[in-house]
């Protein structure tokens, strides 16, 4: 078991077909106790219960500092430690540059980027005290290629910010044996993307992917499992692409 005895938080993991849920499932299968943090407490508890016994569902808006700190305090009170954080919670919006309003910008940046910072700030003292921890930040191929899929430019900006934040935290906390890495998924089949891809566009997108298919949530989950486990013990500050070759650089 790659995560036997480990305590892991996965944010935004209540959606049945999302990357977060697949990650939580992969972690549980490898021996971790998983804390699912989502906006909806009932959904978070149900998702945790579906993983089996010993898992926990909590509610928090990752962009709200007080809610984040309360949820992490509950997790620490319940388990006594936190070994892994997956900053998965995120939202997108398919608009063009001139259509982005101030409210749109704040909403997208708050959840995707501020949420990553707030969750990391909340768990880092415990990880630093333990002298061990792994933080995995969910970015996107949109940050690397300048959008062009679903999310607008503000989404690309937020996800690019996640990459810079993760690298800076990796440099700062490496001496404490806390590793911080990023994942950049390509186009993954989830509840969010499921209804947005028409057949013509779907085929055009797949034609540009060397592996010849869209990604599954489990593809990303397996990459997160690698970064959470000791298999990646000498990796920090990296960006791991999970895109089927959509972007090769």
Q: pLDDT for 14-39, tens place per residue?
A: 999 999 999 999 999 999 999 999 99
* Predicted pLDDT at 197: 58
Determine the pLDDT at residue 58. Answer: 98
Give the per-residue pLDDT at 205: 85
Which position among 79, 105, 155, 234 bears the catalytic label? 155
234 is catalytic: no
Question: Closest by alpha carbon to 189, among 176, 173, 206?
Answer: 206
CA distance linking residue 98 with residue 166, whole number of Å:
29
pLDDT at 190: 79
| Number of neighbouring beta carbons within 10 Å of residue 14 | 26
Predicted pLDDT at 37: 98
Distance CA 8, CA 95 (A): 34
186 has a pLDDT exceeding 70: yes
- Residue 116 has a pLDDT of 98
Q: Which fold has domain 7-240?
A: Rossmann fold (3.40.50)
Q: Residue 102: its pLDDT value, please? A: 98
pLDDT tens digits for 94-151?
Answer: 999 999 999 999 999 999 999 999 999 999 999 999 999 999 999 999 999 998 788 9
How far apart, in whole angstroms, are the C-alpha atoms of residue 139 and residue 177? 22
**Is the separation of the CB atoms in 27 and 223 below 8 Å?**
no
Buried b (16+ CB within 10 A) or exposed e, 38-61: bbeeebbbebbeebeeebbbbbbb
Q: What is the mean pLDDT of residues 165-185?
A: 98
Band (53; pLDDT cuts 50, 70, 90): very high
pLDDT in tens, 187-232: 998 765 555 555 667 788 899 899 999 999 999 999 999 999 999 9
CB 34 within 8 A of CB 6: no
- The answer to whether the Cα torsion of 123, 154, 206, 238 is positive or negative is negative
Type and span of the H or E element at 197: none
- Which helix (H) or strand (E) covers residue 122, if one does? helix 115-130
Helix 19-29 / helix 41-50 crossing angle, nearest 10 deg: 40
Model confidence at 246: pLDDT above 60:
yes
């Amino acid at each position: 078991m790659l995560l036997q005895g480990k305590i892991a938080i996965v944010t935004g993991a209540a959606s049945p077909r999302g990357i977060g849920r697949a990650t939580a499932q992969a972690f549980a299968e490898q021996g971790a106790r998983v804390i699912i943090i989502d906006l909806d407490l009932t959904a978070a508890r149900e998702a945790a219960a579906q993983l089996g016994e010993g898992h926990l569902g909590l509610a928090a808006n990752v962009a709200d500092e007080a809610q984040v700190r309360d949820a992490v305090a509950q997790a620490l009170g319940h388990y006594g430690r936190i070994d892994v954080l997956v900053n998965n919670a995120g939202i997108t919006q398919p608009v063009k540059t001139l259509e982005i309003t101030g409210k749109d910008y704040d909403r997208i940046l708050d959840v995707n980027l501020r949420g990553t910072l707030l969750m990391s700030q909340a768990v880092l003292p415990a990880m630093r005290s333990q002298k061990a921890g792994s933080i995995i930040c969910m970015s996107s191929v949109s940050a690397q290629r300048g959008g062009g899929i679903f999310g607008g430019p503000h989404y690309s900006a937020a996800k690019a910010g996640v990459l810079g934040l993760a690298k800076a935290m990796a440099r700062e906390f490496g001496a404490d044996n806390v590793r911080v890495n990023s994942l950049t998924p390509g186009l993954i089949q989830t509840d969010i993307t499921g209804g947005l891809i028409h057949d013509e566009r779907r085929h055009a997108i797949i034609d540009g992917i060397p592996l010849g298919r869209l990604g599954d949530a489990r593809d990303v989950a397996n990459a997160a499992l690698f970064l959470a486990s000791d298999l990646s013990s000498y990796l920090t500050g990296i960006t791991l692409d999970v895109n089927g070759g959509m972007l090769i650089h």
